[in-house]
Amino acid sequence: MEPFAKPTAWRLTRCLTCGCEAHYRFEYTVSKNAENEATCRACYWRQWAQDERRRHGAYADLTPVPVADAKERADRHGYDYLAALTNPSYRDDPHHVRCRYCGRLAAERMGDIAFGCRCQTNPGRARQTPNPPGQKQRALLKDSRLPVLAWWDHGANDLAQWESVTVVARREAAWRCPDCGLRFTARVHDMIHRAKCPTCEPNRHVEWEAEYERYQVTPVSEVRELLAAWADDEDPRTVTVAKLGPLRQFRCPRGHHPRISPYTYLRSGCPSCRSQETRAARLETEAAIPAPFRISPEIASQWHPSRNGRISLAKLSPKSRRTVWWQDPGCGHEWQDTPEQRDKGQRLRCPECRTILDSLAFHFPDLAAEWSPVNPLSAWHVRPSGQTAFVPTWVCTADPTHVWQAPLASRAVGSGCPECREHGKSQIELDHHAAAERAFGKASSGQAVRHDAFLRRSVWHVDITVELSGGRKLAVEYDGSYWHADKADVDEEKSRDLLAAEYLVARLREHPLPALSIDDPGYAEFTVHSTVPDPDCVIERVKRWASEH
């Protein structure tokens, strides 16, 4: 029902079997086709629910779901309730709902509605900004400190491989067994999960089988370690180490009395001691983290100051399922929830205001101060590394007349006000911008322009932008003879896109750059000379030309 955009885009569809309208990604449809499964979730869940009721027979729950209950749950989790997709509607039957935030139509079961729409998912990230351009966040094997590093064959693998291979790589690499010295090749991914030598592994298995066979006929009384810990009523001379039978009682040096098989105790020791060692290691790791920050600092800052009694925030784990009181210091709203649930799914900062954790406002308050009030969401509702359905508008704190659009990712990695920024702009361009401000009263420099009519790029950065009377806009481009000597094709594409967006386009081309092959009444070229620049005169000529068009 909607045109195809890209495989990952949501498209509105109508099921050819039941007529249910819903949004699906094209790649999802392809996946379901490969599995010979219906794409339509209304059809799929109806059949699934029928099969479940048939499987339970007389024990199936045939209590109808009241429409009021379905509506209440949908409303509570951000959906507009449209209709039940079965009549009567039983447990596990699908319902037709629409996300209140993104408008996506879906067929969801009651339990799935409680998870909310995917557009509201707010994944936790240790890194709140995108990776620098051209770089990819990678967990390098050489930095992992994994035991498998002792197996790496530096002689057979080149230095480039050592410097670039990651812990999730599935390519082949050369390894050297630290025990027998055998050289062999294996996938990195396989070696990380279980490092094994083609020679030693079979030998160890043979040795283990021989040992196990020997212990199947060896009484406990002949094994010193087992006999010293034996605390069972049975005579150790009549019980073999590895023969299947009832569990036996032992007493470890620390006083624990585990009931365990003799062979397991011999191989692994006391299970209570092992668990204590694991717990001690975990506590040692946690001790290095300041107590108030074991839970996320942002969540910890919302700990209710008076309603949690003797419960200590310092003793709560991030995975705790204990329900406690929270309060947002900004809006003052109070609610109850567990630390574990607070850091899952939508990860809301305030469930009533629907602000989110790890937002732009929390991590980058300076950027949040430049967030324009014309944006449909506040800086507390967007992540610095997230994507929005709109291009955010920003207002410069140094000069409120500077207003521009830029995506969240570019701001989070350091881009600032394009008009205040002088880096990347030549002095001659700055001089012409200053002349444009004198001539027109107001002019923008380096503004990012987006328009649906653009065919070559999604965004162009214009040297000088001026808003003319009548709502039209003027784009002035300065083309230096050195930097634009081999960019005629790019200059032409940029000009055509701006013309398609109904801009007047004036290009100031330094002598001896040739003219571009553009024939349009809204386009003009002005020859300038770098040796004798006269910005005020040139901009005045541009202004007269613009007034005639």
Backbone angles phi, psi at 470, to 5 degrees: 90, 0
Q: Which of 79, 83, 85 is nearest to 116 (CA)?
A: 79
Of 198, 221, 244, which closes a domain?
A: 198
User: What pLDDT digit, counting tens, does each position of 10-37 carry?
Assistant: 999 999 999 999 999 999 999 999 999 9
Per-residue pLDDT band for 73 (boundaries 50, 70, 90) equals: very high
Number of H helices, E strands in the chain: 18, 20
Are 219 and 304 in the same domain?
Answer: no
- Reported as a single tens digit per residue, the pLDDT across 318-335 is 888 999 999 999 899 999
Kind and range of the H or E run holding 492: helix 488-500
Among 81-90, 212-221, 266-275, name the one with the lowest average pLDDT. Answer: 266-275
Q: Residue 249: what pLDDT?
A: 94
d(CA 544, CA 175): 74
- Which tokens is 332 given? 């003052």
Question: At 202, which amino acid appears?
Answer: P
Whether 107 and 85 share a structural domain: yes
Q: Contact, 408 vs 392, CB < 8 A?
A: yes
227 in the same domain as 147: no
Distance of CA 465 to the CA centre of its chain: 35
Domain count, the chain: 5
Query: From the CB of residue 186, how many other CB atoms can be counted at a distance below 10 Å?
Result: 16
- 391: Cβ–Cβ under 8 A, 6 or more apart, which residues? 405, 406, 407, 450
Is 300 found in the same domain as 218? no
CATH at residue 486: 3.40.1350.10
Helix axes 427-440, 535-547, angle to 10 degrees: 50
d(C-alpha 175, C-alpha 425), whole Å: 52
Q: Based on the domain organization, do 208 and 307 belong to the same domain?
A: no
Mean pLDDT of the 519-535 span? 91
Banded pLDDT at 130 (limits 50, 70, 90): low
pLDDT above 90 covers what percent of the chain?
A: 60
Average pLDDT of the segment spanning 193-207: 91
Average confidence score pLDDT of the chain: 88
Residue pair 370/412 in contact (Cβ under 8 Å)? The answer is no
State whether 185 and 220 are in the same domain: no
| 183 and 228 together in one domain | no
Query: For the segment 398-437, what is each residue's pLDDT rounded down to a tens digit?
Result: 888 888 888 888 888 777 888 777 666 778 888 898 999 9
Provide mean pLDDT across the span 349-372.
Answer: 91
Task: Round to whole Å and give the CA distance between 104 and 113.
Answer: 13
CA distance 479 to 499: 17
In this prediction, residues 91-104 reach a mean pLDDT of 93
Amino acid letter for position 419: E
Q: Is the pLDDT of residue 46 over 90?
A: yes
How far apart are the C-alpha atoms of 366 and 361, rounded to whole Å? 8
Q: Output b/e per residue, 533-544; b: 16+ Cβ within 10 A.
A: bebeebbeebbe
Is residue 291 very low, low, confident or very high in pLDDT (cuts 50, 70, 90)?
very low
Q: Is the dihedral of CA 70, 71, 76, 82 positive or negative?
A: positive
Last residue within a domain, chosen from 198, 229, 247: 198
Q: 346 CB contacts (<8 Å, ≥6 apart)?
A: 116, 120, 121, 122, 356
pLDDT at 83 over 80: yes
* pLDDT at position 97: 97
Q: How confident is the model at residue 138, as a pLDDT?
A: 57
Same-domain check for residues 193 and 215: no
| Last residue within a domain, chosen from 66, 87, 120 | 120
CA of 487: how far to CAs of 234, 415, 423, 450, 512, in Å? 92, 25, 21, 21, 14
Average pLDDT score over residue span 277-300:
65
For residues 259 and 321, membership in a common domain is answered with: no
For residues 335 and 325, give the distance between their C-alpha atoms in angstroms, rounded to a whole number: 6
What proportion of the chain, given as a percentage, has pLDDT over 70? Answer: 94
Closest C-alpha to 42, from 94, 7, 87: 94
In a domain, 127, yes or no: no
pLDDT tier for residue 167 given thresholds of 50, 70 and 90: confident
Residue 284: inside a domain: no
DSSP state of 240: B
**Could you tell me the residue range of the domain that residue 25 belongs to?**
10-120
Q: What is the mean pLDDT of residues 120-132?
A: 68
The predicted structure's pLDDT at residue 129: 61
Instruction: Tell me the average pLDDT across 194-216.
Output: 92
44 domain residue, yes or no: yes
pLDDT tens, 228-273?
999 999 999 999 999 888 999 999 999 999 999 999 999 889 988 8
Tell me if 48 is assigned to some domain: yes
Task: Give me the mean pLDDT over the 285-289 stretch.
Answer: 50
CA separation for the pair 69, 113 (Å, rounded): 12
Block residue for tokens 């039978």: 245
What pLDDT does 429 receive?
86
Return the HEC string of 268-310.
HCCHHHHHHHHHHHHHHHHHCCCHHHCCCHHHHCCECCCCCCC
Query: Would you call 241 helix, strand, or coil by DSSP?
Result: coil
- The SS3 call for residue 50 is helix
Select from 110, 103, 117 the least CA-distant residue to 67. Answer: 110
Backbone angles phi, psi at 309, to 5 degrees: 60, -125
Q: Judge if 517 and 471 occupy the same domain.
A: yes
Find the helix or strand (DSSP H, E) in which 406 lies: none
| Model pLDDT, residue 292 | 41
Q: What tokens were used for 88? A: 């009567």
For residue 401, is it within any domain? Answer: no
Looking at residue 277, what is its pLDDT? 83
Predicted confidence at residue 374, as pLDDT, reads 95
Mark residue 424 as left, alpha or beta (left: phi above 0; alpha: psi -120 to 50; beta: remaining). left
**377 occurs within a structural domain:** no
